Amino acid sequence: MKALVALLLSPLLMVFATAASAVEEVVVMALFKDRAVVVIDGTQRMLTAGETSPEGVMLVAADSEAAVLDINGERSSYTLGSHIGGVYAAPALVEVQLWPNRGGMYLTSGVINGIAVDFLVDTGATLVAMNSGQAKRLGVDYRLNGKPAQVSTASGISPAFHVELETVKVGDVQLRNIGAVVIEGNYPEKVLLGMSFLGRLEMRREGNLMVLRKKF
C-alpha cells in the first residue's frame, strides 16, 4: 500500500442539491430484439440495448413483448403502446464543497456506521484508514471480522486488518460497503478518507476548492 500521506479537509463545508432536467412523457411505439422505438417528449428515438437518449432515457433490454427502460434512475418494464406520463425528474445532484483552512490543508467531519468522526483526506491511500482505538470506538470488530495485513506508515511496517464499513458519510454524500483498514496503534490520529470512498465519487479541484459529487 502507498504511504499514507494526508491532506486535511476544511470544516467550511457546503452541500448543494440541484435538480436536473426532467422527462415528462414516454410512449413505446415499436419493439424488436434489443431495440425499441420510443417517443420522448414528442421526439421519436430508435434505441438499442444499452443506449441512452439525449433526454436521459436508457433502453436496458427489449424483445417483441416489452422494453425495460431506465428513466432518470427509475427502471421498469413497458409493453407496446405503453404511455408513461408525469414528470420524471432526475435525481438531485449532491455536492460537497471543501475549502482549505489557514494552513492550506483540508479538514471535515463525517460519519462512519452512524458515529461522528473527524476525517483527513488521503488520495494516496487505497482504503479508508483508522487506528485500532478509533475502530473500537466505532464498534468495528476488526479482529473477528477483519483479514490480517501489513501496511506502510511513517514509522515503518505496522500490523493491520482489512474490514468493510457499512456506511461512510460526508455532508449529504453517503456510501455503503466501504473498504477500510484498521492499523494497530495510535496512527493515524484522525480517520483517513481514502480512495475506497473518494473513488466512488466525482472529484474535481477548482483552485483551492475541492468538490465531491455523488454519482447516480
Q: Which CATH number belongs to the domain containing residue 113 in this structure?
A: 2.40.70.10
Distance between CA 144 and CA 35 in Å, rounded?
50
Beta bridge partners of 169: 111, 174
Question: Is there a single domain that holds both residue 98 and residue 77?
Answer: no
Determine how β-strand 115-121 pairs with β-strand 191-193. Answer: parallel
Write down the pLDDT at residue 54.
Answer: 86
How far is residue 175 CA from its own chain's centroid?
Answer: 6
> Per mean pLDDT, which range of 1-10, 30-39, 203-212 is the poorest?
1-10
Element (H, E) at 128: strand 128-131
Q: Which of 89, 112, 144 is the last residue of a domain?
A: 89
Question: Is there a single domain that holds both residue 204 and residue 187?
Answer: yes
Question: Is there a single domain that holds both residue 107 and residue 190?
Answer: yes
Question: Is there a single domain that holds both residue 59 and residue 161?
Answer: no
- Which DSSP string corresponds to 35-100? EEEEEETTEEEEEETT-B-TTSEEEEEE-SSEEEEEETTEEEEEETT-EE-S-EEPPPEEEEEE--
Question: Is there a single domain that holds both residue 81 and residue 98?
Answer: no
Question: Is there a single domain that holds both residue 68 and residue 113?
Answer: no
Give domain status of residue 116, yes or no.
yes
Question: Is there a single domain that holds both residue 126 and residue 201?
Answer: yes
Per-residue pLDDT of 150-191, as tens digits, reads 988 777 888 999 999 999 999 889 999 999 999 999 999 999
Domain range for 134 is: 7-16+94-214
Element (H, E) at 195: helix 195-198
Distance between CA 28 and CA 38 in Å, rounded?
5
Question: Is there a single domain that holds both residue 83 and residue 112?
Answer: no
Average pLDDT, the chain: 82
Model confidence band, residue 149 (pLDDT cutoffs 50, 70, 90): very high
Determine how β-strand 115-121 pairs with β-strand 83-84. Answer: unpaired
Give domain status of residue 1, yes or no.
no
Per-residue pLDDT of 100-144, as tens digits, reads 778 777 778 899 999 999 998 888 889 999 999 999 999 999 999
Question: Is there a single domain that holds both residue 110 and residue 204?
Answer: yes
Give domain status of residue 2, yes or no.
no
Question: Is there a single domain that holds both residue 61 and residue 133?
Answer: no
Write down the pLDDT at residue 138.
Answer: 96
Q: Which of 89, 119, 139 is the last residue of a domain?
A: 89
pTM: 0.59
Question: Is there a single domain that holds both residue 75 and residue 152?
Answer: no
